[in-house]
Amino acid sequence: MVNAKIKHDCKIELNGVDLRATPARVALMKLLETTDKPLDVQTMIDYLNQQEVKTDPATVFRIVNLFKEKGLLNLIQLNEGKFRYELTSKPHHHHFVCEQCGAIQDISDFSIKAVEDAIQEKRQIKIKSHSLEFFGMCKNCLK
- In degrees and rounded to multiples of 5, residue 50 shows phi and psi of -65, -35
Residue 25 pLDDT exceeds 60: yes
Asked if 73 and 86 touch (Cβ cutoff 8 Å), the reply is yes
Same domain, 27 and 74: yes
Rounded to whole angstroms, the Cα distance separating 127 from 130 reads 7
Tell me, yes or no, whether 3 lies in a domain: no
- For 86-118, write each residue's pLDDT tens digit: 999 888 888 999 999 999 998 888 888 889 999
- Helix (H) or strand (E) run with residue 51 in it: none
Same domain, 83 and 28: yes
At 99 the pLDDT is 93
Average pLDDT on 33-42 reads 93
At 92 the pLDDT is 83
Average pLDDT on 24-35 reads 94
Same domain, 61 and 117: no
pLDDT band for position 122 (cuts 50, 70, 90): very high
Please give the share of the chain, as a percent, with pLDDT higher than 70.
94
Cross-sheet strand order for the sheet of 133-136? 104-107, 94-98, 133-136
At 9 the pLDDT is 82
Average pLDDT along the chain:
90
Asked if 102 and 141 touch (Cβ cutoff 8 Å), the reply is no
pTM reported for the whole predicted model: 0.78
- The amino acid that residue 110 corresponds to is F
Q: How many domains does the chain have?
A: 2
Ranges of H-type helices in the chain:
10-16, 23-34, 41-50, 57-69, 113-123, 139-142
Average pLDDT on 115-123 reads 94
At 110 the pLDDT is 82
- In degrees and rounded to multiples of 5, residue 112 shows phi and psi of -115, 25
- For 41-67, write each residue's pLDDT tens digit: 999 999 999 999 999 999 999 999 999
Range of the domain at 36: 10-87
* CATH assignment of the domain containing 32: 1.10.10.10
Rounded to whole angstroms, the Cα distance separating 107 from 134 reads 9
- In degrees and rounded to multiples of 5, residue 73 shows phi and psi of -125, 145
DSSP-assigned beta bridge partners for residue 135: 97
Rounded to whole angstroms, the Cα distance separating 88 from 29 reads 11
